[in-house]
Structure 1
Amino acid sequence: MAGDYAVIALYIAGMIGIGWFGLRLAKTKSDYLVAGRRLGWFMYSGTMSAVVLGGASTVGGVKLGYTHGISGAWLVLTIGIGILLLHALFARRLVKLRVYTVGEMLDLRYGGSTSAISGVVMWAYTLMLTVTSTLAFATIFKVLFDVPSIAGIGIGGAIVVLYSVLGGMWSITLTDIAQFVIKTIGILFVLLPVSISAAGGFDGLRARLDATFFDFTGIGGETIFTYVLVYGFGLLIGQDIWQRVFTARTPAVATGGGVLSGVYCLVYGIAGALIGTAAKALYPSLASAQDAFATIVENLLPAGVRGLVLAAALSAMMSTASGALIACSTVSTSDLLAKLRRGRTASDDAELRRNRWTTLALGLLSIGIAMIVTDVVAALTVAYNILVGGLLVAILGALFWKRGTRAGALASMSTGSVVVIVSMITAGLDANEPIYFGLGASLVAYVAVSLVTKRTPPEVLGTWTARLSGEPAPALENNVS
């Protein structure tokens, strides 16, 4: 394992070093939260791909391939579809708004304050998303060092928290680019061909496995539809994703880079499912499908190369964990804590300190929760159910229905969130009903309350329209470099 240790040690040292370099770049709130809104198409595409393809997409994607075959790709495919739709339909508008959070966008569109409720929902989502990727560290460090899951979570989580606290979005962006390259090489160009070859190629896979493993809809139509609702639509509205959109230098950069990222996600989803399918052919009796990724890496790859692939998996987990962590911190400071200090201004230095301390506190909290949670896919489902059930209707309504009102948005967010949480408690975390019930209740509440309340004032809609056209609004953007 000496070669593996050396590769992983170099990788970890590189991530921390990049984080330290990011400390020099993060001089303002805009630098720390959205990388100064200065990313070009390559960095934008790489960092967008890195943030959406995390532990659940890598370890969880292989797990689903082990269980369902090629149709296990649907979880990651719907993520890719969501990224494509986001950048084809919304990205240009979001860049022009020049806000920091989803809550700020809702406040701008509806007038008055809606970010308290939306901030709580988004905070819960981003925190649980951080937890899912932090939880996945246990798989890698168990293979490397044969340490308990709690220790693996602590090691991986501490690294992410360190470089995220240091440089914020600049550190995360720079580490994401390195992680994107490592992940592409390790998963697509090493593990995928090696695993398929070891299983005897595609002919060998067909000879060893039941035909259902090669049915592209074998996972079930209802499950695919639920994935589209939960992950596809979830990618349209998540703070962690929007915050990356806000880093684009121009609307054109966001659109072009985002489309490339969406295509990459589709390829990555198929690759993970094929790796899992090969693992099923080679090791059909694993005690847990969750171990499929670690097993195939440990048994098929030589020292050094194994370290590279494990570094690729770490890259996937760390990029998503850090992106979700900075998103959770941004929601905390901009949407929630800001309510407690309304009317009080702070210097750039004070804002930076506040964001760094908040990021540190939330990072430690996510590590603690990850040490309790056991299923990475279930945790991700909880995060997306809360997000989509609580916020999707109000956000899409803000973008497409002028008759929608602040009262309708508040009713929609409150009703959808409560129904989703109650449904998950009563029907179970793996059930499809929570997202259906939550979205239905949210939509009814939004339309009904909007129609019986006063229209949004013309001056509010006028400000909204002006922002969408790219006109500046100094009140919400004071620190852009």
Structure 2
Amino acid sequence: MVDDSWIVALVVAGYLLLMIWVGAASARRSQTIESFFLAGRNLSPAVLTATLTATILGASSTLGMAGLGFREGLTGAWWLLSGALGLLVLSIFFAEKVRSAGCYTLPELLGERYDPRVRYGASALILISWVGIISAQIVASGKLLGVLFGPGQEVFMVVSALVFVGYTALGGQRSIVKTDAVQISILLLGLLVVAWRAFHLAGPDEILAAGGSFPTSQARGGIDVMVLVLVVGSTYIAGPDIYSRLFSAKDPKAARASAFAAALLLIPIAFIITGLGISARILFPGIGPEEALPVLISETLSPLGEGLLAAALLSALISSADTTLLTATSILSLDLFRRARPESSERTMMIVSRGGTVLIGGVALLSALRLPEIIGALLSAYTVFAGGLIVPLVAGFWRERLRLTSGGALAALLGGGGTAILFGAEMPLLGMMVSAALLFSVSWLSPQSRRLIRG
């Protein structure tokens, strides 16, 4: 650590303590299920846009995507651009439908479209995928603090996990929403400051030359771009964390407007963060790719600026982790426990919800201690989720017109998700293809569908 590193440590520690205080303060207003998971369903478009953007700008969109820029140049921006395309599709075609459903969780929405078996299958698949995504955020937090403060990445991972699991268990959605607007403002301002310094040091001409071609390059060809758009983009069209935000909107129009605004914000951010990765390769070629952003922060800013941006970047990682954690908890509590114990009181459900938050956070931390890299872990989780869930969910909005059955949806969930688990690393689109084939073939061959045709 440098001589002034105590300033950085003080700012980061102050931020972490502030998050715990926010969670404790929000706990008093989070005594009902609707308040804990959906903040009372009264989020305005401005607040919703801020919290949605903060949720998206997590490990993959900061440390991971800067690492992609470091490795392959401008085509690394496709990670976040894929998300922007997915959000645009969500905004135009589905956001108002999602909010109008009045559900708490994505599996509940699927259960209403089909039947309880599909709800249970979706719950299991999302929990498996989302533990991996939470784990990746914890790994990213450890990498960030490890670069800033030296060895001890595992210790930093444990500390970060304890903080966001703690305040999420206390305050739920209210504690998350309260911090997101401030976090995203500080993060965007900090990224602009680092970009100005880094681009000046590396040189615009050198950055453009090192960035390579776009939209495709030698590192990422057209097929690779298409796979990324379909796999990553689809998780924005039907992601349970994104849906938890839309369910919290005050009305369907607010849900649509916030998704559209967040999509537009992601486009310039994608190129700025990728450019930072390219700059780091020029200035510090010996570092690891996913260390690009933390090294730029530590080498281009004053200790106070480094501490502020480190806290903001840590908040970006935590703001994604807490939303993902709360989403997984809502599925465990509402789609599994309450369905099994429908007579449970509100007080019992709150105890189960807070306990479930701690349980899922603990499992994710144990998984994080074994993960090698951020982007690889996230892509694996996204592939499993997309393989089983995307096709039956999107097609379910036109279930009657397409003559889809609950049996077909369940086969698509299990077959597509299982295929993605087994073969997703080598063939990331195979799960979605199997899911589509099973959804339509099982539906159309069922007696129920044949009766509809005859009718």
Tell me which interval the TM-score lies in, with the shorter structure as reference length: over 0.9
Q: Is the 8 A contact 1:122 1:238 kept in 2?
A: no
Corresponding residue of 1:178? 182
Out of 393, 396, 399, the position equivalent to 2:397 is: 399
Q: Structure 2 counterpart of 1:400, which letter?
A: W
Which deviations, in whole Å up to 9, do the C-alpha atoms of 1:24-72 show, x marking residues without a partner?
Answer: 2212100011111110111100010011110111000100011111111
CA shift for structure 1 position 338: 3.2
Give unpaired runs (5+ residues) of structure 1: 459-481
- 1:134-188 C-alpha deviation (Å, 9 max, x unpaired): 110112211332232211110111111011000111111112222212211111x
Report the alpha carbon displacement of residue 401 of structure 1 after superposing the two structures with TM. 3.6
Instruction: Give 1:67's aligned residue.
Output: 71
Which residue in the other structure is 2:160 paired with?
156
Would you say 1:15 and 2:19 are equivalent positions?
yes
Following superposition of structure 1 onto structure 2, how do residues 322-471 of structure 1 map, counting pairs within 5 Å?
Answer: 322-341=322-341, 344-402=342-400, 403-424=403-424, 429=425, 431=426, 433=427, 435-455=428-448
1:129 partner SS: helix
CA-atom RMSD in angstroms: 1.7
Moved more, 345-354 or 27-36: 345-354
- Residue 113 of structure 1 aligns to a residue in which SS? helix
Native 8 Å contact 2:195 2:272 kept in 1: yes
User: How many angstroms does 1:233 deviate by?
Assistant: 0.7
1:52-451 to structure 2, matched below 5 A, reads 52-187=56-191, 189-200=192-203, 202-206=204-208, 209-210=209-210, 213-218=212-217, 219-286=220-287, 288-341=288-341, 344-402=342-400, 403-424=403-424, 429=425, 431=426, 433=427, 435-451=428-444
Q: CA deviation at 1:113?
A: 3.0
Q: Aligned partners of 2:201 and 2:262: how far apart in 1?
A: 30
Structure-2 separation of matches of 1:117 and 1:457: 25
* Shift of residue 299, structure 1, vs aligned partner: 1.5
The 1:33/1:220 distance shift into structure 2, 3 A limit, reads: same
CA separation in 1, counterparts of 2:438 and 2:137?
Answer: 33
Cα separation, 1, equivalents of 2:33 and 2:206 = 55
Opposite residue 319 of structure 1, the aligned amino acid is S
Q: Distance in 1 between matches of 2:442 and 2:148?
A: 55
> CA separation in 2, counterparts of 1:95 and 1:456?
29
> For residue 106 of structure 1, what is the amino acid of its counterpart?
L
> Does the Cα contact within 8 Å between 1:111 and 1:456 map onto a contact in 2?
no
Q: 1:309 to 1:112 in 2, by over 3 A?
A: closer
Question: Residue 268 of structure 2 aligns to which amino acid in structure 1?
Answer: V
What SS does structure 2 have at the residue aligned with 1:147? coil
- Amino acid aligned to 2:317: M
The 3-state SS of whatever aligns with 1:25 is coil
Across the two proteins, how many residue pairs are aligned to each other? Answer: 443
Alpha-carbon contact 1:182-1:315 (below 8 Å) kept: no
CA distance in 2, matches of 1:177, 1:414: 38
Stretch of structure 1 that moved more, 438-447 or 330-339: 330-339
Is the contact between residue 107 and residue 114 of structure 1 (CA under 8 Å) also seen in structure 2?
Answer: yes
C-alpha distance in 2, partners of 1:457/1:214? Answer: 52
Question: Structure 1 pair 454/193, CA: closer, same or farther in 2 (3 Å)?
Answer: farther
Provide the C-alpha distance between the structure 1 equivalents of 2:147 and 2:365, rounded to a whole number of angstroms: 20
Aligned residue in 2 for 1:471: none
Question: How many Å apart are 1:457 and its aligned residue?
Answer: 12
SS in 1 for 2:303: coil
Q: Distance in 2 between matches of 1:420 and 1:262?
A: 27
How far apart, CA to CA, are the structure 1 residues paired with 2:29 and 2:181? 16
Check conservation: 2:113, 2:399, Cα contact below 8 A: no
How far residue 112 of structure 1 moved from its aligned partner, in angstroms, is 4.3
TM-score, structure 2 as length reference = 0.94
**Is the alpha carbon distance of 1:112 and 1:13 closer, same or farther for their aligned partners in structure 2, counting shifts above 3 Å?**
closer
After TM superposition, give the deviation of residue 337 of structure 1 in Å: 2.5
**Deviation digits for residues 424-461 of structure 1 (CA, Å, limit 9, x no counterpart):** 4xxxx3x3x1x221111111111111001144799xxx
Partner of 1:27: 31
| Normalised TM-score (structure 1) | 0.89
- Whole-Å Cα distance in 2 between the matches of residues 338 and 289 of structure 1? 44
Residue by residue over 1:222-274, the C-alpha shift from the partner in whole angstroms, topping out at 9 and shown as x without a partner, is 22111111110111111111111101001111111121111111121111101
